[in-house]
Structures are given as C-alpha cells and as structure tokens.
Amino acid sequence: MGASRVTQPSALAAGGVRQIVADYLALTKPKVQSLLLLTTVTTMYVAGDPSLGLVALTVLGGYLSAGGAGAVNHYWDRDIDAQMARTASRPVPSGRVSPRAALGFGIGLAVASFALLSVTVNVLSAVLALCGFLGYVFVYTAWLKRTTPQNIVIGGAAGAVPPLVGWAAVTGSLDPTALYLFAIVFYWTPPHFWALSLLMKDEYASVGVPMMPVARGEVETRRQIVLYTVLLVVLTGLPFVFGMFGWVYAIAAAGLGAAFLVHSVRLQRRADRRSALTTYLFSLGYLAALFCAMVLDARLGY
C-alpha cells in the first residue's frame, strides 16, 4: 500500500514532465525541420569536407533558429489554430503551453542559435540563420500569411536559408553555387506547399487564410503548381550547365524533375485529393534525393 502511494505520484510527475517536454518539442516543429536540415548537411558536404563536430554544431544552431521561428509561429497563429481540427490540439491553443511561454521560448531559441553559431561556427552563418528566423516570423507569419495568396512564394525565402547557412559554415562566405541551392529550395516550396494546401483548403477558408486554393481556386492552384514545377526543373539544370555539378547530378536532376512534372500534370488533369497527396509526398522525397545527388556528384567528381 505504502509503495503504491509513493509510486503513483512519481509516475504522474514523470508523465507530466514527458508531456511538457513533448509540448515544447512540438513548438519547434521537428517534422518540418528535418528535411530543411538535410539540405543544410548535404550542402556542407558539397561545399567542402567538414568535421562531424562542425556539422553537429551547424545543425544544432539551425535547429534552434528554425525551432524558435516555429514556436513564435505557434504563438502568433494560436487564434486560427484553435479553430481548425488539425491544429486545435497544438500546445498553445489547447492551453498546455501559455502564449507568453511559447513566445519567450521562441525568442530564447533564436538568441541561443545566434550565440552558438557565432562562437562555434562563424558570424556569417549566425547572421543567415537569424535572417531565416526574422523572415519566417515577420515576413511570412505576421505579414504575408493572412494577407496574400502569394504568402508561400515570398515567405518561402525563409525556408530556403538552410543551404546558405550550411555553405557559410564550411567556407565562411557565399558564392553562386550556394545561391543556386537557395533558389532551388525557393522554387520547390510553392508546388510542394500548394499540393498540401489543396488538401486543407476548407480549413484555411474557415479561418480566412488566403492560401492559393482559397483565394484563386483549385484550378488556378493546380496550374501554378505545374508552372512552378517547370521553373524548378529548368533551374535545377543550370548548375550542370554552368559547371557547378557533373553528370551524376545532371542525370539525377533530370530524372527527378521529370517525375515531379509527371505528378504535377497528373494533379492538374485528375484534380483529386489522392493526386494532391501523392504530389506532396513525392515533393518531399524529390528534394531529399536531389540534395543527396549533389553530395554524390561532388564526391565522385564526375
């Protein structure tokens, strides 16, 4: 009897701690970050031969910055998150984390990121990560998201910063190759996110967020997905044309681009939820495979 009385409160306390940790981790949006951090790591191995320590510190700094932006996003969007079934259980709208705590946590992570990268990597990588944080928070979340269907196009620049951070971490500077990698993620973002937004159109409409399917309709959104996919395919060929990458990358970029275009055109023609979902899922694998192909090309030297 006595043992159970001691154990039960301990178990409850442990469960409470786990929930708190899980909630604060959720504020950093780890699933969203994983792919973008992959672009950081792969870019570092394209740029040079970084030590594992440098890679780990850069990834940690990038995670803190992007996680801070995610936490502030949770704070800012708590009103509309509470109205959508998909987001109502998030830590802030559910009441498990206070808005003030989420905001403070996000700002603290951004400060920690800048300090860590400045001291252990270099100032340029710290400044670039901070620019990504500020762009996501102020340009996308606070300004564009609720005002224009072009929100993800312009705001996507914040999500394209990780390759710049990775390149700067290794070389201490930026060059045209780094800018091309930034542009690839920038042009990849609209077709990737618009495919997802087709699946969530009704939720966005219910809270007045003018995502492309809400503001311009599904037909125009599917047309824009094809247009941006074409632009992306052309863009991914330029690093080979200008001698930044070799044949390994060129073949991978061509094959992946053709497959992405097939998915986009199929989505435009079929206009169903399954096509939207498969296009969205393929876009995730596309970006990961493309950046991995860059590393393979750089290592093989073909």
Q: Indicate which CATH number applies to the domain containing 93.
A: 1.10.357.140
- Model confidence pLDDT, tens digit, residues 73-87: 999 999 999 999 999
Judge contact between 229 and 261, C-beta under 8 A. yes
Q: What percentage of the chain reaches a pLDDT higher than 90?
A: 92
Domain assignment of residue 205, yes or no: yes
Domain assignment of residue 1, yes or no: no
Domain assignment of residue 2, yes or no: no
Q: What is the domain range of residue 79?
A: 16-173
pLDDT, position 6:
47
Does residue 126 sit in the same domain as residue 217? Answer: no
Domain assignment of residue 3, yes or no: no
- Residue carrying structure tokens 């705001």: 155
Domain assignment of residue 9, yes or no: no
Does residue 139 sit in the same domain as residue 242? Answer: no
Does residue 109 sit in the same domain as residue 244? Answer: no
Does residue 203 sit in the same domain as residue 286? Answer: yes
Does residue 23 sit in the same domain as residue 80? Answer: yes
Structural domain total, the chain? 2
pLDDT, position 139:
96
Does residue 121 sit in the same domain as residue 205? Answer: no
Domain assignment of residue 204, yes or no: yes
Domain assignment of residue 110, yes or no: yes
What number is the average pLDDT over the span 14-29? Answer: 91
Residue 237 has pLDDT above 90, yes or no: yes
Per residue, the 3-state secondary structure of 211-253, as one string, reads CHHHHCCHHHHHHHHHHHHHHHHHHHHHHHHCCCCCHHHHHHH
Does residue 206 sit in the same domain as residue 160? Answer: no
Written as one string, the DSSP assignment of 134-148 is HIIIIIIIIIITTT-
pLDDT, position 255:
98
Residue 13 has pLDDT above 90, yes or no: no
Does residue 88 sit in the same domain as residue 100? Answer: yes
Cα-based distances in Å from 297 to 42, 174, 187 = 11, 20, 22
pTM above 0.85, yes or no: yes
Domain assignment of residue 257, yes or no: yes
Paired tokens of 165: 């951070």
Does residue 297 sit in the same domain as residue 163? Answer: no
